[in-house]
């Protein structure tokens, strides 16, 4: 792995993607300011239905999902990241001090916090939300419904053998899959039963990164040479067609047995701008590559309401792929053409999907768009005061 790729992984990258996904969102930084604390303590605002949350250099926007206009701005300096908490009200904000809970519908920061250096992936699955803190290797499992009580939910915790940029997911029956590694090297994953007894392990997944779940609770983590699938108590390795074929960001859905993944094949690139994506069939345990006529970034992957594989390309279009055939069925114009910046923390167009709507940011124009995935029509657009970076929102249910 080259220095640039490795550096980005160890400090925390990923996709943050919508719908059951992903991903795959990695750690960030940024301290809450006095303004943020003042906002948190302010009188309760009117409840906002299905809000979106976007980050910018200096804070967060809480957005009306119909008009896309900011309803409230929370000042929070530094590089912050946002992920759905798993209920209809809350979003996790990753700062340099840990995970903080934002009541997005109430438009305020809460006092709920999971402290720790380098907060990383936030994974929603089977009614539980799992936080992985890279700087400590700590895993916290919570029921997002408990966030509404205003107090920090009490839930399962697990400590990795060593701190690393990792990810964990709890299955419906209480089994916990968590990655294995150190700050220098990541090797695979283990599975614990509901009593934290190790019941499975596989270390044939170099550079393990990111996760996604498909139909019938098939869970995959990405490797530098393919993916590692855990299903029905067994690990199965699916190899890439290239010696180095890195899959680090994935998007899954209960509507399909096929996972969507990125795909990079140049280990020496400072920043590879790939034009192929991977489709991993968790039933047949086979991997297919799909050629696109544009590149994309780690914030480009999502799934549609019918299981469609969605990729926001640098041509400005959402490429809609049939996961069964690998055919690009249509391209939906979304934003202007763009190029992925070298620094992974710099803004780039981001795709967030909820129900039948794709929300796409266009930081070069300080714009945000809502697109109906059925018709391909833009239902709303807005110009924001500042260019946004990450984009997320409340997502109830897993």
pLDDT of residue 45: 65
Report which of 78, 176, 153, 154 is spatially closest to residue 389, judged by C-alpha positions. Answer: 78
Q: 249-301: per-residue pLDDT in tens?
A: 999 999 999 999 999 999 999 999 999 999 999 999 999 999 999 999 999 99
What's the rounded Cα separation, in Å, for the pair 201 and 192?
A: 9
Please state the separation of Cα 345 from the chain's center in Å.
14
Residue 74 CB partners (closer than 8 Å, separation 6+)? 35, 36, 39, 59, 60, 62, 102, 109
pLDDT of residue 121: 98
pLDDT of residue 14: 35
pLDDT of residue 19: 36
Q: At residue 325, does pLDDT exceed 50?
A: yes
Q: 140-198: per-residue pLDDT in tens?
A: 999 999 999 889 999 999 999 999 999 999 999 999 999 999 999 999 999 999 999 99
Look-up of token digits 């009580």: 149
**DSSP state, residue 246:** B
Paired tokens of 339: 């190029």
pLDDT of residue 398: 57
pLDDT of residue 46: 77
pLDDT of residue 215: 97
**DSSP state, residue 385:** S
What's the rounded Cα separation, in Å, for the pair 138 and 84?
A: 20
Look-up of token digits 């250099």: 57
What's the rounded Cα separation, in Å, for the pair 109 and 139?
A: 22
Q: 208-235: per-residue pLDDT in tens?
A: 999 999 999 999 999 999 999 999 999 9
Q: 3-56: per-residue pLDDT in tens?
A: 333 333 333 333 333 333 344 345 444 444 434 444 444 445 678 999 999 999
Query: Cα dihedral sign for 260, 130, 93, 40?
Result: positive
Residue 11 CB partners (closer than 8 Å, separation 6+)? 26, 27, 118, 165
pLDDT of residue 396: 87
Within 10 angstroms of residue 195's Cβ, the number of other Cβ atoms is 7
DSSP 80-95: -EEEE-SSSSEEEEEE
pLDDT of residue 397: 72
What's the rounded Cα separation, in Å, for the pair 109 and 225?
A: 41
pLDDT of residue 26: 58
Q: Under DSSP, is residue 214 helix (H, G, I), strand (E, B) or coil?
A: strand
What's the rounded Cα separation, in Å, for the pair 398 and 126?
A: 6
What's the rounded Cα separation, in Å, for the pair 261 and 29?
A: 26
For the chain, give the longest Cα–Cα distance: 57
Look-up of token digits 């393919």: 226
In percent, the amount of the chain with pLDDT more than 90 equals 86
pLDDT of residue 196: 96
pLDDT of residue 21: 39
Look-up of token digits 């980050």: 55
Q: Phi first, then psi: what are they for 108, rounded to 5°?
A: -155, 150
| Bridge partners for 136 per DSSP | none
pLDDT of residue 35: 46
Q: Under DSSP, is residue 250 helix (H, G, I), strand (E, B) or coil?
A: strand
């Amino acid at each position: 792995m080259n220095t640039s790729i490795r550096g980005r992984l160890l400090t925390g990258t990923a996709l943050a993607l919508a719908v059951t996904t992903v991903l795959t969102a990695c750690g960030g930084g940024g301290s809450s300011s006095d303004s943020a604390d003042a906002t948190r303590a302010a009188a309760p605002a009117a409840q906002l239905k299905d809000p979106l949350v976007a980050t910018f250099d200096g804070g967060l926007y809480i957005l009306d999902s119909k008009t896309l206009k900011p309803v409230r701005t929370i000042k929070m300096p530094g590089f912050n990241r946002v992920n759905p908490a798993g209920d209809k009200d809350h979003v996790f904000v990753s700062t340099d001090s840990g995970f903080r809970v934002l009541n997005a519908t109430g438009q305020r920061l809460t006092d709920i916090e999971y402290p720790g250096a380098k907060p990383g992936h936030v994974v929603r699955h089977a009614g539980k939300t799992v936080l992985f803190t890279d700087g400590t290797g700590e895993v916290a499992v919570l029921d997002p419904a408990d966030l509404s009580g205003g107090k920090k939910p009490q839930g399962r915790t697990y400590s990795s053998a060593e701190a690393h940029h990792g990810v964990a997911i709890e299955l419906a029956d209480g089994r916990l899959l968590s990655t294995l590694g150190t700050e220098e090297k990541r090797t695979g994953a283990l599975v614990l039963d509901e009593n934290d007894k190790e019941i499975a392990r596989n270390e044939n997944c170099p550079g393990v990164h990111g996760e996604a779940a498909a139909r019938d609770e098939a869970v995959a983590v990405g490797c530098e040479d393919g993916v590692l699938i855990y299903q029905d108590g067994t690990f199965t390795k699916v190899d890439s067609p290239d010696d180095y074929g890195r899959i680090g960001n994935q998007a899954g859905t209960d509507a399909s047995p096929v996972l969507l993944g990125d795909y990079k094949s140049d280990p020496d690139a400072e920043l590879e701008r790939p034009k192929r994506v991977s489709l991993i069939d968790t039933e047949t345990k086979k991997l297919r590559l799909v050629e696109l006529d544009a590149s994309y970034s780690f914030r480009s992957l999502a799934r549609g309401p019918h299981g469609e594989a969605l990729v926001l390309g640098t041509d400005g279009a959402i490429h809609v792929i049939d996961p069964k055939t690998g055919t690009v069925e249509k391209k939906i114009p979304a934003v202007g053409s763009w190029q992925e910046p070298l620094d992974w923390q710099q803004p780039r167009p981001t795709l967030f999907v909820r129900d039948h709507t794709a929300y796409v940011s266009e930081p070069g124009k300080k714009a945000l768009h809502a697109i109906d995935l059925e018709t391909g029509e833009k239902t709303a657009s807005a110009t924001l005061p500042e260019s946004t970076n990450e984009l997320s929102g409340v997502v109830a249910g897993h």
